Amino acid sequence: MFGNPVKWLFFILTSYLALNVVVSMNTLLTRKTYIVQMDRSAKPEYFTSHLEWYSSKVQSVLSEPQEEGDADEEDRIIYSYETAFHGVAAKLNEEEAARLEEADGVVAIFPETKYQLHTTRSPMFLRLEPEDSTSVWSEKLADHDVIVGVLDTGIWPESESFNDTGMTAVPVHWKGICETGRAFQKHHCNRKIVGARVFYRGYEAATGKINEQNEYKSPRDQDGHGTHTAATVAGSPVRGANLLGYAYGTARGMAPGARIAAYKVCWSGGCFSSDILSAVDRAVADGVNVLSISLGGGVSSYYRDSLSIAAFGAMEMGVFVSCSAGNGGPSPASLTNVSPWITTVGASSMDRDFPATAMIGTGRTIPGVSLYRGQRILSTRKQYPLVYMGSNSSSPDPSSLCLEGTLNPRVVSGKIVICDRGITPRVQKGQVAKEAGAVGMILSNTAANGEELVADSHLLPAVAVGEKEGKLIKTYALTSQNATATLAFLGTRLGIKPSPVVAAFSSRGPNFLTLEILKPDVIAPGVNILAAWTGDLGPSSLPTDHRRVKFNILSGTSMSCPHVSGIAALLKARHPEWSPAAIKSALMTTAYVHDNTHNPLKDASATTPSIPYDHGAGHINPMKALDPGDLNYPAISVVFPDDTSIKVLTLHRTVTNVGLPTSKYHAVISPFKGATVKVEPEILKFTMKNQKLSYKIIFTTRTRQTIPEFGGLVWKDGAHKVRSPVVITWLTPLT
């Protein structure tokens, strides 16, 4: 029927190769956004501006237009960068990008990168709540001159957290503006929100035009994330703040007297590097003192990471930059934002919890957490049928995960359903169960989550439980013919011990780009944080959630980052002369590594002591950071190479005295199994303020260890304890 098979085979192969050629050509000619870093000093004198020079470079590599009216170089350039970074973002095909990278004056070219968001009690937990007017943290006029730039999803200006009552006039050095757009006008800025801008050209180049009917193409925040982070940084005090009655109290930011500048860089489809870079560049030119960036992408070399390069430029201009570490924990080496000039922030718990219980038919009460507050309440005097759709208690499957369309209403209607965590959002599982007719849900952690519990504002009665207890409940449901349970919700509880605890989701080190640079830098509250919320979305962020709240409780390193940003703003207000490095040093050298039971900080993923790859220098301690004693690069990480003949390594440090003019510090170093560590000199004697003294640390291998060793170096003067984490790593010899 097909005639000569050889002829048909030749025809198929020829067609296939032709198709591949067409696809390859289309790939080469498809335009994408590239960030072009330029050597600013290389501009020839005959160009009147750097932008004119950049444009000429782009124009010189453009392919011939295919038709008349095709895009010219003005259309190709979507951003120019002039302050923290130098260059442009341009739409180029692969051939054009390759040609441009070879041109004189071009330092590097980076393809567009997509970033993701790292989604009242914390001030008191951090001892920031002023008890009287003499508190060192009580508001002073100096606070009002510090401006924090928040790169996020925008801001909801009507929130009480952004009330500017009592604030002084906007600082004269501020050059920012209030951009207008749908549902956002100039009057939405005030003496608290001093600036608001939007950045979407990179996003639109990658995904198409923003649908302005579904999304605000303005600084207004419909996601909620940006409003929450901005309020955590510098929200004004709001009494009676709560989420559905939970966490009732006064909500305030870390630096309530500081100003906020909102830079909207994230949209419904993500956040793109060209937009982020433009926001950093613009924020530095506007005059921000601190940048808070609760988002991240993949990890690439420092010189190939546009955000890293821009953050370096911001740091050189005196701007402190803090970024979230990521929510990839407890997997090792899951960090993002690892550049040494960025303060990388992991997440920890506080001493506040939202307990709930699941009482099963055996009479056992299982502890858990929940933020459920709805009209449907399960009676604690009654037991309800309990069902688990999985086949065993250890291996989740689509039904056990309560994925959309997997629950049979005839099986689950009128029952409490056990759902495993994973794949879909936690609250969405409850919505699936609710739609199938379930009266409640028990959300069970799996091995990936361990025993860490995160509270959610569920849409039906629901309790989250740990992995071990979850297995127990699932086994009971699978082996008992008439399994039953009921759920109870116990409100808000304070004074939880131990705390803080490193959050299981908080991304971990080591920093594989540079083992000698210890990351994260510090941890800060990031679990169950109450802060302001958008008026456009319910607390669960689900479209089916029609509840509207003024405050929401969220967890993530996105929440811990603005805590550090706000503390940095306070330190900048109290010490205007301090550089970003000085602020970072103060935060790290005063961080603590013991919880409120006086035991080493624990790791929620394992209930064992955490290590510097989990908590960095430790948990922030703002009161101590105000008066740190000495300033220096605080983390000490030494790496012995695989050459076993190298047995001695020496590190050098220089410290600056910011304490009393005359002071004497003694060195105390932890013991290590694999090496002896000697500090020279062992005593530092300062005779004046801002005096610099140097010391060296000599590491001598005694017995090479197969895993890193952790300890610390503490300088003591009787009043201060200046602590640096110490990590020693031995690389495995090559065989």
Question: How far apart are the C-alpha atoms of 735 and 728, rounded to whole Å?
Answer: 22
Host H or E run for residue 155: none
Question: How far apart are the C-alpha atoms of 417 and 461, rounded to whole Å?
Answer: 11
Name the 3-class secondary structure at 658.
coil
Torsion, CA 484, CA 487, CA 488, CA 492, rounded to 10: 140
CA angle 219–312–555, rounded 5-degree value = 50
Total Cβ atoms within 10 A of residue 396: 22
Question: How far apart are the C-alpha atoms of 519 and 512, rounded to whole Å?
Answer: 10
What single letter denotes the amino acid at residue 57?
Answer: K
Catalytic residues, which ones? Answer: 152, 225, 558
366 touches 472 (CB < 8 A): yes
Question: How far apart are the C-alpha atoms of 581 and 634, rounded to whole Å?
Answer: 10
Q: What are phi and psi of 531, to 5 degrees?
A: -160, 175
Question: How far apart are the C-alpha atoms of 185 and 218, rounded to whole Å?
Answer: 9
Alpha helices per DSSP H over 174-269: 201-207, 225-234
Joined together, the tokens standing for residue 615 give 């908590």
Q: 5-29 and 94-101 helices cross at what angle (nearest 10)?
A: 50
Q: Strand 320-324 to strand 290-293: parallel, antiparallel, or no bridges (unpaired)?
A: parallel
| CB neighbour list of residue 36: distance below 8 Å, 6 or more residues apart | 54, 57, 58, 87, 88, 89, 90, 100, 106, 108, 109
Residue 619: DSSP 8-state: B
Write the Ramachandran bin of 166: left for phi over 0, alpha for psi from -120 to 50, otherwise beta.
left
Residues paired with 702 in a beta bridge: none
